[in-house]
Amino acid sequence: MNEDIRVAALRAAIRDVPDFPRPGIVFKDITPLLADPALLRSSIDVLCEGAMAHRPQRVVAIESRGFIFGSLVADRLGVGFAPVRKPGKLPHRSVRISYALEYGEDALEIHEDAVRAGERVLVVDDVLATGGTARATADLVRRVGGEVAAFAFVIELGFLGGREKLGAAEVVSVIRY
Ligand code: AMP
């Protein structure tokens, strides 16, 4: 199927929820896309077509909606998966990073043995907004010895300029706003 038609169908399945989780935020709800088997598969098709060229050897995805897409992408690409989680959730020895939010700060963790030395990692999440979360995840990947081959997002909120925070690695996104 033509790329534009696939992306248009995916875009039509994203539900805007105004003022969630806070006033002023328009939340991009992916659950209608997840509910439709053809659209779910199509989202993984487009993500993988974009990511494949970067020859990833592992997928690292961000809690929690990133896990949904990341694990499907890992399966499709035939590579392993490693989770990045909120502090205190991972059972084994972990590395933590703190990063600034609009108000305050947040932190993420990865297992110290999540990637092999020099491994090419694809970082996956549902939404690229300001880029802080993906940037922190990339820093974690590098701190445990991986190389960030590319980033892949289902949705990119381009007007927030997150892509500019992600350095030289390629950014693949399916639906852009
Ligand atoms: P950021 O660090 O600003 O790029 O935010 C990215 C993270 O926040 C991702 O894990 C998203 O799931 C979530 N997020 C940010 N903005 C939105 C939004 N408008 N709709 C849905 N999720 C969002």
pLDDT at residue 102 in the model: 74
Read off the pLDDT of each residue in 135-155 and give the average, rounded to a whole number: 98
Q: Is 131 in the pocket of ligand 1 (CB under 6 A)?
A: yes
Tell me the mean pLDDT in the region 20-48.
Answer: 97
Stretch 37-46: mean pLDDT? 98
120 is catalytic: no
Sign of the Cα pseudo-torsion (44, 51, 98, 141, in order): positive
Helix (H) / strand (E) element for 35: namely helix 31-35
What are the residues whose beta carbons fall under 8 Å from the beta carbon of 96, sequence distance 6 or more? 87, 107, 108, 109
65 assigned to active site: yes
Cβ–Cβ under 8 Å, residues 71 and 152 = no
CB-CB neighbours of 120 under 10 Å: 17
Distance CA 90, CA 18 (A): 32
Per the structure, the complete domain to which residue 18 belongs is given by: 3-176
Ligand 1 pocket member 68 (CB < 6 A): no
Angle among Cα 84, 112, 87 to the nearest 5 degrees reads: 45
The torsion angle over the Cα atoms of residues 28, 3, 125 and 60, rounded to 10 degrees, is 170
pLDDT at residue 103, as a whole number:
78
Look at the chain and report how many structural domains it folds into: 1
Show the DSSP H helices in 36-158 as ranges: 37-52, 65-77, 132-143
Query: What share of the chain has pLDDT > 90, as a percent?
Result: 95
- State pLDDT tens for residues 107-120: 999 999 999 999 99
Residue 29 near ligand 1, beta carbon < 6 Å: no
Residue 1: band (very low, low, confident or very high) from pLDDT cuts 50, 70, 90: low
- pLDDT higher than threshold 90 for residue 174: yes
Helix axes 37-52, 65-77, angle to 10 degrees: 60
Give the whole-number percent of the chain exceeding pLDDT 70.
Answer: 99
Residue 85 maps to which CATH number? 3.40.50.2020
